[in-house]
Amino acid sequence: MCTLPHGGENSDKDQAVEESGFKKGPWTREEDEVLASYVSIHGVGNWNIVQKNTGLARCGKSCRLRWTNHLRPDLKRGAFSDEEQRKVIELHASLGSKWAKMAQELPGRTDNEIKNFWNTRLKKRRRLGLPVYPDDIKPMLNDSEAFPLPELIFDDCNFDLERETLCMPSTSFGPENSIFEQQISDNPIMHHPKPISIVPENSIFEQQISDNPIMHHPKPISIVPEN
DNA sequence: AATGAAATCAACCGCTTTATA
DNA sequence: TTATAAAGCGGTTGATTTCAT
């Protein structure tokens, strides 16, 4: 593990290299290029030897995270579509805070993205006193599992996904969830889509692919497990 | 235009799970 | 079977950006 002592950072964060020899903080374009090139040749995994083989001053954990969240060629980027938002809500209702599992159902999205999206949304809606779920989605988990913080939640409100507005509050919610189970079987959105490969416009990867011949990936990477 | 608040995003930390010798 | 390393995961933080006043 690349755990580092607290409070030991240099003032120049970008250039800071800790006692352990590993650098922290934002990745530079050059570091991204080194890591992406390495992965294109050797594939993913064995993150701890990346540093040894490339000279990157990053621990394996940091390399894995950077690849997973930013350099993977199949990442979507950009705002979540209405459909994706809806799916995140549905998945959260059924899984709770299982971000990695949720990411498996949303091709091109990372667990970190989904987590950030959800936390932002949750915070906003709590502040506005709006229900976390639209009225047609009931959480399968009990309140404390779905929402660790104590919270007054209105339910059975008509929720406009686009405008995020509360239309008509009525009753409180309970743990019953038969409606949701029905939705999973009825709703085509809930069936796993096929993995797609997208290279985001203006991404580092796009540029590398066009600039660098070794960036033509020998191994397609799927983030969605085969069913 | 300046400023503070809110939102967003990237990255780290620490714990858990899985793989391997 | 056990110990260790590696990988995975969720929570959290802090920097930056955007928005409102």
Domain ranges of chain A: 29-71, 82-128
pTM of the model: 0.67
In a structure prediction context, what are the per-residue pLDDT tens digits for chain A, which is 227 residues long?
Answer: 454 333 333 333 334 566 667 888 899 999 999 999 999 888 887 888 887 788 888 988 899 999 999 998 888 888 888 888 888 998 888 888 899 889 988 888 998 999 999 988 888 888 778 888 888 887 776 555 455 443 333 333 344 444 444 333 333 333 333 333 333 333 333 333 333 333 333 333 444 433 333 333 323 333 233 22
Residues of chain A (76-105) having a beta carbon less than 7 angstroms from strand B: 79
Q: Residue A98, class by beta-carbon neighbours within 10 Å (0-12 exposed, 13-18 middle, 19+ buried)? A: middle
Which CATH number fits the domain A82-128, given the four candidates 1.10.10.60, 2.40.160.60, 1.10.760.10, 2.60.40.10? 1.10.10.60
CB-contacts to strand C (7 A): A 1, 45-48, 60-61, 64-65, 97-101, 111-112, 115-116, 119, 148
Closest CA to A29 of A18, A37, A21, A40: A37
The protein residue nearest nucleotide C16, judged by CA to C1', is A26
Domains A29-71 and A82-128 share a fold: yes
Which CATH number fits the domain A29-71, given the four candidates 1.10.357, 1.10.10, 1.10.3470, 1.10.287? 1.10.10
